[in-house]
Chains A and B, each alone.
Chain A
Amino acid sequence: MEIKTNSKLEKVLKGGHIAVSSECGPPRSSDASGIIKKGHLIKNHVDCINITDNQTSVTRLCSLAACIHLKNEGLEPVLQMVVRDRNRIALQSDILGAASFGINSMLCLSGDHQSFGDHPKAQNVFDLDSMQLLQTVRYMRDEGKFLGGDTIKEPPNIFVGAAANPFADPFKIRVPRLAKKIAAGAEFIQTQCVYNLDKFELWMKGVVERGLHEKVFIMAGITPMRSVGMAKYMARAVPGMDVPEELIKRLSGVAKDKQAEEGLTIAVEAIERLKECTGVRGFHIMAIEWEEKVPEIVERSGLYPRPKID
């Protein structure tokens, strides 16, 4: 397959390997040492590291700056960009800025509503939606133009992805919605955390039936549970999250000091099962504030060592 960008993720995926990405959240501080440390903890076990963009609408050090910090350390960041906080001028400006630092991959998202975060009284922007941001990146890269029509002297050369949540409603449009994101320009997909494997496989069946798995690289989202409390919280309070009752029962069935270990085992089992699922081309491991466990998950899942890419 033709390699279009310098994205390591693109090279791994198009090289036919099962890709592994992870995710780090920037600090609520001007001190970036924490995220640099997180990056180094996992760098040998993943192909790239997503940097979240003010996730859950809580103000943090910006994704672009955090990506630059990782890039300066020789790591491979994926810039997450939400359309909640910036209009098309700022988005395009940041895309150019990212490309100027050699940030080669980005993930286009709508972003959680600001009512969830630390500034619920903020205005939201949503000048574009996530699909239109995908279109924008592809237009800038492939046509070498700004949305306004002017030529970009040196277009940003970025591998572009989107999120997909097979567990949100209405389920009947979740496959068409993926098709729509592909039509908008998505080259890779990182899904919402997969706990309900049956439902995920049902969604993937629909994806494969339409041949969409041949048009986009789908990476299944994996988040290990640290405790039964976390599982119950995610089931109850996180919109669009599907945590089956059996998983909660399984975690409840082990002693409190063994629940984290059980959570890791569940994550490893999920990866092993989904490796066999047609169309799954990688895993996006989101160990929320538990990054130190990413290497263990990757090793236990047989995804280590990672391929060497020039």
Chain B
Amino acid sequence: MIVGEQKPFDEIWEMVKGHKQLTVFGCNTCVAVCHQGGNKEAEILASLLRMRATQEGLEIEIKNGGIERQCEHPFFESAKELLDQSEAVLSLACGIGVQFVAEKYMSTPVYPALNTTFLGDVKQDGFFTEKCQACGDCVLGVTGGVCPVSRCCKRLFNGPCGGSSNGKCEISKDIDCAWQLVVDRLEALGKLDDYEKLAPIKDWSKDRAGGPRSFKLEDF
């Protein structure tokens, strides 16, 4: 799923304080799982903004609402009236949702309340870790199911580097060395000999490097 983190409150306030009316708009799927951008978080953030406006003596009408997903047209039906009447929208979606709203409402300012941080899993309650960078050419089949692009800080395809120490990455003792994990997995699979196969030079044209990507189902 897509993981996001709410921006510092002061940064959010600086973006929106110039408006007379604002809708704080949640997205109740990915970023709700990480308790940052769901409809409940939108309600809380709207309350905090109202309090701040009162403290600073500013008259801003702040509403809140939300939908299941800000990245698909059909979900917007239920929020049409709310958004049509909004002077500005503070979206709690990931960067995809923020842009989707902006595209739909050409003349309405839309601000991001979150920093979209990564594609990750729920490792344990309240703990999310990065697992994919959508490089467009998955190699998990030959790396024991451990992604070197998102989990090695040098995205080495023939790791580990000389900085791997006690299973940890050279940049932080809090980060597992991805290649230690690859080696452990290959060993568990009885395929440690595969470690010596040289990984080919990556085709980064399928990654962000190749420009914005799209995918069209011809049958639709």
Interface residues of chain A, those whose CB is within 8 Å of chain B, are 84, 88, 110-113, 115-116, 124, 126-132, 135-136, 147, 163-165, 168-170, 172-173, 176-177, 179-180, 183-184, 192, 239-240
Contact = CB atoms under 8 A, between A and B. Distances in A.
B57 interface: no
B171 interface: yes
B201 interface: yes
Chain B at the A interface: SS class: loop
A163 B196 contact: no
Nearest to B158: A131
Contacts of B166: 169
Interface of B: 153-167, 170-171, 177, 180, 183-184, 192, 195-196, 198-199, 201-202, 204
A86 to B, nearest CB: 14
Nearest to B161: A110
B129 to A, nearest CB: 18
A179 B167 CA distance: 22
Given A84-B154, A129-B156, A170 B180 contact: yes
A178 to B, nearest CB: 10
Contacts of A176: 195-196
A113 B163 contact: yes
Contacts of B160: 168-170, 173
Nearest to A163: B162
B163 A168 contact: yes
B63 to A, nearest CB: 37
Given A169-B167, A184-B158, 17 more contacts: A110-B156, A126-B155, A129-B157, A129-B158, A129-B159, A130-B161, A131-B199, A165-B162, A168-B160, A169-B180, A170-B183, A173-B192, A173-B195, A180-B158, A180-B198, A183-B198, A239-B163
B170 A113 contact: yes
Contacts of B165: 168-169, 239-240
A301 to B, nearest CB: 25
B200 to A, nearest CB: 8
A88 B203 CA distance: 11
Contact of A115 (B162, B171, B198): B171
Contacts of A124: 154
B170 A240 contact: yes
B164 A169 contact: yes
Contacts of A130: 156, 158, 161
Contacts of A110: 154, 156, 161
A179 B196 contact: yes
Nearest to A113: B171
Nearest 6 A/B pairs, CB to CB: A165-B162, A239-B170, A239-B163, A131-B158, A240-B162, A129-B156
A207 B44 CA distance: 62
B154 A180 contact: no
A129 B162 contact: no
Contact of B201 (A135, A163, A173, A183): A135
A183 B158 CA distance: 12
A272 B160 CA distance: 31
A165 B164 CA distance: 10
7 contacts: A110-B154, A127-B202, A129-B157, A132-B199, A168-B162, A169-B167, A177-B195
B135 to A, nearest CB: 12
Nearest to A111: B154
A168 B164 contact: yes
Given A168-B163, A169-B165, A240-B163, A126 B154 contact: yes
A109 to B, nearest CB: 9
B5 to A, nearest CB: 18
Contacts of A183: 196, 198
Contacts of A116: 171
